Structure 1
Amino acid sequence: MQVFAVPLAGVLAVGGLSSSAFAAPKQPQQTPQETGAQLDAAAAQALRGMSLEEKVGQLFVTWVNGKSADEVNPKNQTDFGVDTAAQAVQKYHLGGVIYFNNSSRDNFDDPTQVAKLSNGLQRAAIASGAHIPLQIGTDQEGGTVTRMGAPATEFPNSMAIAAGRDTGSATKAATILGHELRAVGINQDYAPDADVNSNPANPVIGVRSFSGRPDLASSFVTAEVKGYQNSGPASQTVSSTAKHFPGHGDAATDSHTGLPKINRSEADWRAIDVPPFKAAIAAGIDSIMSAHIQFPSLDPSGEPATLSKPIITGKLRGELGYNGVVITDSLEMQGVRELHSDAEIPVLALKAGVDQLLMPVHLDVAVNAVLAAVKSGDLPMQRIDQSVLRVLKLKLKRGILFSPFNNPAQVMKKVGTPEHLAAAQGIADRSITAIANDAGVLPLKQKPSSVLVTGWGATTTQTLADRFTAHGTKATALATGQTPTDAQIAEAAAAAKQNDVVVVLTNNLGGFPLQGKLLQALMDTGKPVVAVAAQIPYDAGYANPVPTWLATYGYITPSLEALAKVVLGETKPSGKLPVDVPAGADVHTVKYPFGHGLTW
């Protein structure tokens, strides 16, 4: 039977894919969209000859160390007992890897380098075991959570996009993000965030969420899934991942460092948290990520959702009817490790109904725990096969099995193009929200000759100052951070007196109230002061002396460029709040309501 662009029998060999079919990188070929029955049949055929070790390997996604597949990195020896990333892929028959850009796990130099890394890892996967190419994933939500930065196209946070109230912009952003990721060999994006940020004190979601309202969040989740998954041939798009089920938006604890408890009724859960996930499922989402949160109304046992059969199998699979891939949030996070050992966690997650295990702390411990559970009968082989089939079907659907490679020579013709950069800037321009302008400071009566940019963020204040300067207004950056000292405040006040206008950036004013002392000192200078909530818009709700507030919902360069243009009067603010902004810590009193946004 011929299912794909090539006869299935010709590429599937001994339960896997023939490595000869992938001898060298080549331009991805377009493969037709297949029916569910065809994908099921092809996945079942690929599964038949796989060993237990190869099957279990398909269920794991982990980080790798280094910027090339064959780079000898001592961290690989510590983490996996091998020298190179390619050897780690082969040793564990990995189903996927995840790329990072932080100091401890940095896989990104530039897009062409990433493309070569991806090709090297795919060669390693294809030459090993079942010959199944990798899912290569990353967290490219946009804004705060961006792994592949410039010269790739950077988009604002989700909340900024929703402030523009244009779902077409969300589809455009996801289309560009997905196409640029696939150009460098990344075929899975752990985005969008489908959480409804209903708790203004949420320490980990915030502007990563589209909105505090389920209907607005749902429409933007749908729009982004369309852009990621349906904006071209399968070989040019990426799998999208809605996160974090059953909903992380009401958390008051960061699940990276603790185990949040969501004290919300089941009825409220259905009304608030469920709609964006239902929308994602209706849009054909390839995967859904679980949350490391306790949700007693859904499972009174106290297990985190990732390890909860009532939540994963009962609610997500049963009630919502989702039969795609479920992947855990990182298994390094404290939220999932609070109650169980690192050996117990992967077995419990699979029993709960999860398919893929993301970033276990000790990969060897996790893999061997699953193998032992299968051999002892604690995990039935049928349960393993069920998840492996879902993973294989996703890889077939997304064209990974037949188009695993990219062309490094073509990368910079597809990544960070002028058209993509212009699209990102246009979306950022529509996001700036004028929350308050009680003294009529804006629009400025005349273009200032000098601006002081102060407040939070050494890089952010300098980048904004550079944007003012690029528009013909001399600007000076003076960062004071989230906890400004008296000396820093005095220095900022003195500098303010030497400038025509002061722009002060805040970040989490409620959690770091000394920023309020800075605001007062700047107002006392008598200079025009524009306060900017450079991350969460809730800063504007706290009692403070500044009558003029703008919100950017983030601090990537396009957002700061958009901010500079609004302050200088080159554009008008047009964003609308996607959340209610309460009166400071009093979350029951709304100071600036959902949909509020001034213009002039």
Structure 2
Amino acid sequence: MPSRRTVLAATAGVTAALTVGAAAPVNDRDPSTLLSRMTLEEKVGQVFVSRVYGHSATAPDPADADANLAELGVRTAAELLARYRLGGIIYFTWAHNTRAPRQLADLSNGIQRASLQQPRGLPVLISTDQEHGAVCRVGRPAALFPGAMAIGAGERGREALRQKGGGRRAGGSRADARMLGRLAGGELRAMGIRQNYSPVADVNVDPANPVIGVRSFGADPDAVAALVAAEIEGYRAAGVAATAKHFPGHGDTAVDSHTGFPVITHTREVWETLDAVPFRAAIAAGVDSLMTAHILVPSLDASGDPATLSRTVVTGILREELGYDGVVVTDALDMAGVRTKYGDDRVPVLALRAGVDQLLNPPKLDVAFHAVLKAVQDGELTEKRLDESVLRILRLKARLGLFDEPYVSPAEVGRTVGAPAHLAAADRIAERTTTLLVDEGPVLPLSPRTHPRVLVAGADPASPTGTTGPPTAVLAAALTALGFWATALSTGTDPTPETITRAVTAAGAADAVVVATYNVTADGAQRTLVEQLVTTGRPVVGLAIRNPYDVAQLPSVKAYLAAYSWTDVELRAAARVIAGAVAPRGKLPVPVRRADDPTQVLYPIGHGLTYWA
């Protein structure tokens, strides 16, 4: 990283802020010394991490300024920091924070400048959710890597190709997970983002899980633990705080905590051998922060409170039993799972009493801030307890070097974000993750000589940040680049009879069909679409672009692949596998159960076919 003096010279407009930040004696950056000089209001501000609208800290677009005024009572990020002395800011795409890498760097520098210019100004811990795969906040031209379940499917070594049909235990590549953390972390750091809410440490054992699914590395707790630890090691090497989530484990529920209150029925014994395993590994790897889940686990705490608000879970289990003394951050406090039992004024107080340190994105910041302030003034929450959290936060900022290097260099953004070597690494990793589940005939690989005209049909869900277009269009473009004449026909996740008829007609004029599926159900229109495409007699290649469980609903398809997401990097890799440019190397990190009898496993963990490219 550039020196403080280099940043002073290179970053226009931050001279005054750097002078303020550099003026304090070195011992004033000691967390304990800083804490001893803070007012109560400043301490309360440090435990909050808030959203803020706009691409600039001081000059957001008028609509963003209005949104800030309506939700936060201020117009700009600078005003927000001046009013509440916040410890953290979280970036969202929907808050219009993430337009471009250099803009992000300028926004981060503006946020730091606004905070450091305050009396006893402190640097801000800027965070985001950059899980890769289905959940990304920073898009192109940043390097976007395969998501967690794809990494869990990844090839662990060249020995995997020696046997057609597999022959190895699944588990993913620790080297790839570590590389993802190191390269992606370096890009985040260059843009001023120093805390990433990743990796997901949940063990996804419920195929119907609506909120985790492909965000998890898989269903084997030991494999998940190894990959979680490796990714944390990568982020730590990059100087970014990784965050293992969602403690105590969100992988076995059919309820989304954004919209409901999930209940996990695992016994304490099951929790110890399943859910707890990756979190123990994360702690052993030195994870800087852990995120709590808004879920109820009666075997851990029978009070009926969500884990985020449970002193038994946060202090008793996480801190005392598992020995974790790092920063604990809540999942977003605007989610339904934490608001079903208590009001927005009580939730932040109860979370701090439980042992949490950072309060993430409260829906009403002013209400939450003053509720915590009053709780301390009234004695419900002791100042000693608050000091414990503030000290952890300050120590994390110190470990990340924020007291010495709060600003980022625009030149570093250009050198680091979306570097050709990073993009190439993402492509190589993706090629090791695409999983061939079925290939009867065989159907694959397709060749431009024998199947020159390819119809790419299927689901086009809302694209994750940074994709170049709908999945069918991205796939068609990738196949065309490989020598096919490929055309795209978006049929959506719930195709109408008219759309299905149009797809079947188009298939009749093609030599082969690639159909993208997205969470197929037994009675859904996607299944009808695929079955009717099969009746055309054209070779049909199915590609699950989210959960790999789709294959169980479509036994008539003779060739089926799993990409685990619909981002460009995974779709391009799938196209190369379909064309035989690379061999499929992925192995299922979750079991796929029979659709007609879920007690029976159709394809076990570790299943995955291959052929020589």
Q: Say whether the fold is shared (TM-score over 0.5).
A: yes
Q: What is the CA deviation profile of residues 469-504 of structure 1, one whole-angstrom value per residue up to 9, with x for unaligned ones? A: 122211111111111111111100000011111000
Distance 1:130 1:324 in 2: 24
- Kept in 2, the 8 Å contact 1:144–1:157? The answer is yes
Q: Which residue of 1 aligns with 2:85?
A: 93
Q: Which residue of 1 aligns with 2:457?
A: 454
* Shift of residue 85, structure 1, vs aligned partner: 1.1
Secondary structure at the counterpart of residue 587 of structure 1: coil
Secondary structure at the counterpart of residue 201 of structure 1: coil
Distance 1:554 1:440 in 2: 25
Q: Which residue of 2 aligns with 1:279?
A: 281
Matched, 1:225 2:232: yes
Bigger CA drift: 559-568 or 363-372? 559-568
Q: What is the CA deviation profile of residues 527-574 of structure 1, one whole-angstrom value per residue up to 9, with x for unaligned ones? A: 000001111111112244212110000011111111111111111101
Q: What is the CA deviation profile of residues 255-293 of structure 1, one whole-angstrom value per residue up to 9, with x for unaligned ones? A: 000000001101000100001000000010000000000
From 43, 48, 62, the counterpart of 1:60: 48
- Kept in 1, the 8 Å contact 2:522–2:553? The answer is no
* Shift of residue 437, structure 1, vs aligned partner: 1.1
- Kept in 2, the 8 Å contact 1:198–1:250? The answer is yes
Q: What is the CA deviation profile of residues 89-111 of structure 1, one whole-angstrom value per residue up to 9, with x for unaligned ones? A: 11100000000112xx1101110
Matched, 1:584 2:584: no
Matched, 1:504 2:515: yes
Distance 1:203 1:447 in 2: 40
* Shift of residue 449, structure 1, vs aligned partner: 1.2
Bigger CA drift: 402-411 or 537-546? 537-546
Q: Which residue of 1 aligns with 2:425?
A: 423
Q: Which residue of 2 aligns with 1:534?
A: 545
Distance 2:342 2:67 in 1: 26
Matched, 1:22 2:18: yes
Distance 1:404 1:450 in 2: 54
Q: What is the CA deviation profile of residues 106-141 of structure 1, one whole-angstrom value per residue up to 9, with x for unaligned ones? A: 101110000000000000111114311000000001
Distance 1:283 1:129 in 2: 36
Alignment of 1:30-69 (within 5 A): 42-69=30-57
Distance 1:68 1:443 in 2: 49
Matched, 1:598 2:594: no
- Kept in 2, the 8 Å contact 1:507–1:535? The answer is yes
Alignment of 1:268-347 (within 5 A): 268-347=270-349
* Shift of residue 251, structure 1, vs aligned partner: 1.3
Question: Which residue identity lines up with residue 595 of structure 1 in the other structure?
Answer: G
Q: Which residue of 2 aligns with 1:14?
A: none
Distance 2:403 2:133 in 1: 31
- Kept in 2, the 8 Å contact 1:441–1:548? The answer is yes
Q: Which residue of 2 aligns with 1:250?
A: 252
Unaligned runs of 5+ in 2: 5-14, 155-171, 462-469
Question: Which residue identity lines up with residue 540 of structure 2 in the other structure?
Answer: V
Secondary structure at the counterpart of residue 599 of structure 2: strand
Distance 1:328 1:584 in 2: 36
From 383, 391, 394, the counterpart of 1:392: 394
1:380–1:492 distance in 2 versus 1, CA, 3 Å: same
Q: Which residue of 1 aligns with 2:408?
A: 406
Q: Which residue of 1 aligns with 2:465?
A: none
Distance 1:298 1:586 in 2: 31
% same residue: 49
Secondary structure at the counterpart of residue 30 of structure 2: helix
Q: Which residue of 1 aligns with 2:536?
A: 525
* Shift of residue 587, structure 1, vs aligned partner: 3.4
- Kept in 1, the 8 Å contact 2:212–2:250? The answer is yes
- Kept in 2, the 8 Å contact 1:54–1:129? The answer is no
Secondary structure at the counterpart of residue 455 of structure 2: strand
- Kept in 1, the 8 Å contact 2:435–2:588? The answer is yes
Bigger CA drift: 63-72 or 389-398? 63-72
Question: Which residue identity lines up with residue 338 of structure 1 in the other structure?
Answer: T
Matched, 1:78 2:85: no
TM-score scaled by length of structure 2: 0.90
Alignment of 1:190-209 (within 5 A): 190-209=197-216
Q: What is the CA deviation profile of residues 149-180 of structure 1, one whole-angstrom value per residue up to 9, with x for unaligned ones? A: 11000011111012112110111111111000
1:486–1:212 distance in 2 versus 1, CA, 3 Å: same
- Kept in 2, the 8 Å contact 1:543–1:583? The answer is no
Secondary structure at the counterpart of residue 588 of structure 1: coil
Question: Which residue identity lines up with residue 195 of structure 2 in the other structure?
Answer: Q
Q: Which residue of 2 aligns with 1:12?
A: none
Secondary structure at the counterpart of residue 275 of structure 2: helix
- Kept in 1, the 8 Å contact 2:521–2:527? The answer is no
* Shift of residue 443, structure 1, vs aligned partner: 2.4
Distance 2:597 2:605 in 1: 16
1:246–1:306 distance in 2 versus 1, CA, 3 Å: same
* Shift of residue 589, structure 1, vs aligned partner: 1.5
Alignment of 1:43-192 (within 5 A): 43-72=31-60, 73-102=65-94, 105-164=95-154, 165-192=172-199
Question: Which residue identity lines up with residue 596 of structure 1 in the other structure?
Answer: H
Alpha-carbon RMSD: 1.9
Size of the aligned set, in residue pairs, is: 566
